[in-house]
Amino acid sequence: MNIQWSEQENAFREEVKAFFAHALSDELREAGQWLTSVYGEHQRCLRWQRKLLEQGWLAPSWPVAHGGCDWSVAQHYIFAQEKAYAGAPPVSPMGIQMCAPALIAFGTEQQKAFFLPRMLSGEHFWCQGYSEAEAGSDLAALSMSAVEQGDMLLCNGTKLWSTHAHVANWVFCLVRSAREDKPQKGITFLLIDMHSPGVQVRPIVSLTGEHIQNEIHFSDVRVPKGNVIGRIGEGWTVAKYLLEFERGGAAYAPQMQVRLAELRAFAGTAPADRGGCLADDPLFAARLAEVECQVNALELYELETLSTLSRGGSPGAAASVMKILGTELQQAVTELGLEAAGHYGAAFQPQAGCPGGPVLREHGETGFAGERLAALAPLRYFNERAGTIYAGANEIQRNILAKTVLGL
């Protein structure tokens, strides 16, 4: 694999840089640079989504016929790098990066024609309905029911940890349409209008005080069978395909490289307990260098995986590898940040950041103590604790690798 950028690729990088410099307002740049959540605040991210749509760069990994970009793997990665360097806010991945690949692969032409353009425009804002009280990491144990009634499915049950469900108008769900000999059988992949009678959303407040996650309750919700993706009872195949994109469809390394550069600069001014600055502490410096080396190694693995995607393949087992390495390294970065923050890391100061939802716990409305990066450190630390759990716990990912790669 050639990792040297060509003249054409360097020209594309300059084009991307110029776009970000022009399109990112101070408000949008702040929303990305000081983000304390996995996803950004809803309205800001929608404004950024519209700008990307106007440029034609909102869904670069989609087929060109549906609004994607005919980019090489190098261009995809350059875009991800420059997006991180520019401090751009994230676009919610639920529709564009997760549900859309499943629709494109398994949906009918009518479904694609209806849903894909509305995902791009933001008219449809999506959330995910996978996890349940007894079915999170063991997703096949889900029990939300979908009973056939003519040309409808009658749905009952509860989904948990649904990001931005309180502002979403569509949810893609896994539902139990039959009980068979294996739990993976009898599952259906279903698209549900959140405005349907019988849908109720309740907030889940995170450790950082933010309302981003939710419970979704379904009580006798009637859904047309035309909203089934694939076939009734064969949704597990669709779900596995989608999860490969959720776990391995993004580049972790660029954003972590930005965070590490910020941290290294901050450590050059942060005082150490033994006098001098933190950057002079050999133990901290060694831990920082170790994480930087691991992130750079992950970058090479991501490039290899993106190369596979560019040839029409799917992430496969690499999705689990990237999910494990990416989320555990993200946690390591936040741990270094918390150490660098010192006693400022003990304070709850969400007003220093740009959370992904309203902060419902009591806090100061303006101002914060210490450097802004130090005030953000505990918020990012708590947020990343969930990284090794969501999208399939890392223990489950290791089981997948043991089975599919090692044959155990």
Q: Which residues are catalytic?
A: 246
Confirm if 165 and 123 have CB atoms less than 8 A apart: no
Whole-angstrom Cα distance, residue 322 to residue 394? Answer: 10
- What are the counts of helices (DSSP H) followed by strands (DSSP E) for the chain? 13, 8
How many other C-beta atoms can be found within 10 angstroms of the C-beta atom of residue 87? 18
DSSP 406: S
**Nearest CA-CA partner of 371 in 293, 277, 281:** 277
Supply angle C-alpha 256, 257, 259, rounded to 5: 60
3-state helix, strand, coil in the chain (%, to 5): 50, 15, 35
| Integer Cα distance of 283 and 269 in angstroms | 16
Q: How many CB atoms lie within 10 A of CB 231?
A: 12
Pairing of β 170-176 and β 126-129: parallel
Q: Which amino acid is at 322?
A: M
In 77-210, where do the E strands start and end?
Answer: 126-129, 145-149, 152-159, 170-176, 187-193, 199-205
User: What angle (nearest 5°) sits at the alpha carbon of residue 69, between those of residues 63 and 74?
Assistant: 115
